[in-house]
Amino acid sequence: MLSAIKIMTETLHYAISTDGTKIGYRKMGSGQGLIIYHGAGRISQNYKKLAEELANIYTVYIPDRRGRGLSGPMGANYDLTKASQDLISIIKATDADFIFGHSAGGLITLETMLLNSVKKIAVYEPPISVKGSLPSAWLAGFEKALEKKQFKKALAISLKGLKVQEEITKMPFWCLMLLINILALAERKKEKGIRMLDLLHTLPPDMKMAMELDSKYERYRYITIPTLLMAGSKSPSYFHESVKELENTLQQSTTKIFEGFDHYSPEEKVKGISETLKEFFSGK
């Protein structure tokens, strides 16, 4: 007997932010609204697998933050205010009840909840810097390489500097450059490939947002909605430090550490992430 295969239909939509910038988002599934807000150096397409796992229960919206994919240009003055205004425009357009924010998307979600609340949020490793814990020494070299259009070198600098994956952190620089060349070639061969190098310009604004908020996590005590704090056991210690400070600050928080997961697991180990989100958002 042939088993039925459910094809998940995706549609494209747009919201208009406060300054008139168009913010595009993908929509799939049915049920209560759930926004997936992507991290630094990422776009909506990186989260389609996770969205498909959630779309049997929720109407899932995956925006492209400005400067990426479906959305308008980032502009010269992209900051926390504009980032929050963009997310608010999506909340108002979709009337979503829940948000899952990954990395910088999690940080922006927390900031936005100080202005416009939803029913519940979940954040995976938001870059909350605690007394300079977020690595930032690499940023000057990264921006210099970017200015010279040495994109592969810039990517290598960021990967080594942020130490998000232990294997890459330990890898010699020349070896990492070789790996990036191989990955870049594979991406070019994809018909609709997501090109990491095209998103490098989005990293400095996200980093500067996080650095601007260094040690200001006490501001989140005003967030009163239930919040799920998530992290991977293989992720850098500074993310665990962020989660710990948020756990001590937020009024209603639950913490989940995923054994064997790292910073990019919301894009890869979607079963574990989706099951936890379903349990949290459904109130089980």
Same domain membership, residue 238 and residue 169 = no
Same domain membership, residue 231 and residue 96 = yes
In a domain, 224, yes or no: yes
In a domain, 115, yes or no: yes
Among 203, 235, 253, where does a domain finish? 203
Same domain membership, residue 231 and residue 188 = no
CATH number for position 60: 3.40.50.1820
In a domain, 2, yes or no: no
Phi then psi for residue 100, to 5 deg, are: -115, 115
In a domain, 1, yes or no: no
Among 180, 203, 226, where does a domain finish? 203
Integer CA distances (angstroms), 151 to 41, 145, 158, 171, in order: 13, 7, 11, 19
State the total domains in the chain: 2
Q: What is the pLDDT of residue 192?
A: 52
For residues 79 and 204, the answer to whether their CB atoms sit within 8 Å is: no
Integer CA distances (angstroms), 54 to 120, 218, 235, in order: 16, 32, 24
In a domain, 210, yes or no: no
For residues 134 and 238, the answer to whether their CB atoms sit within 8 Å is: yes
Same domain membership, residue 248 and residue 125 = yes
* Two tokens, residue 27: 């929509």
In a domain, 76, yes or no: yes
pTM of this structure: 0.92
Same domain membership, residue 114 and residue 15 = yes
Residue 198: exposure state from Cβ atoms within 10 A (0-12, 13-18, ≥19): middle
Same domain membership, residue 224 and residue 278 = yes
Same domain membership, residue 192 and residue 90 = no
Same domain membership, residue 162 and residue 58 = no
Domain that holds residue 163: 139-203
Q: What is the pLDDT of residue 64?
A: 97
Q: State the number of CA atoms in the 13 A half-sphere of 107 facing the CB.
A: 28
Mean pLDDT, consecutive 10-residue stretches, the chain (284 aa), reads: 54 96 97 96 94 97 95 91 97 98 98 96 97 95 95 92 84 87 70 70 94 95 97 96 96 96 94 97 85
Query: What's the rounded Cα separation, in Å, for the pair 276 and 284?
Result: 10
Same domain membership, residue 92 and residue 143 = no
Same domain membership, residue 85 and residue 36 = yes
Q: What is the pLDDT of residue 180?
A: 85
* Two tokens, residue 165: 């994956």
